[in-house]
Amino acid sequence: MIEWAGTVWMLAKEAFGYIKDAKEFFDTGKAIYEGGKEAKEHFEIKLGAPKLIDFAWIAESGFQAKAEQDGYRIAFSRPDKVARHELDGYELMYEIDREARVMRTLVLYDGSILIGRKTPQE
């Protein structure tokens, strides 16, 4: 009987050691996960409020030149027609502010939204 009690005690002691090691392992994993989550939130670019622009802003800011350099043909669309234009290959165009980590849609005073379509390479 004493041998059984000693064996049970030894097994319980070993199990407790494994549980303690597992807890430390999972605590370390949790700390790594939380650190990665905070880093992701820090570097993530969020969608900001739409930026109101006029026709002249597109050329004067260099946005149109940059879009054409990247192979996009830009146009404006009414908000209710954006989904239809997406079927034709158009995408919403965004201005990205890397310092503030914000991207904004570009909107005219009448509510038209700037969209663009990748032009085929010749």
pLDDT tens per residue, range 42-93: 667 788 899 999 989 998 999 899 999 999 999 999 999 999 999 999 999 9
Is the pTM higher than 0.85? The answer reads no
| Between residues 3 and 54, the one the model is more confident about | 54
pLDDT band at 117 (very low <50, low <70, confident <90, very high): very high
pLDDT of residue 101: 82
Q: How many residues does the chain have?
A: 122
Contact 54, 109 (CB under 8 A): yes
Give pLDDT, residue 46: 84
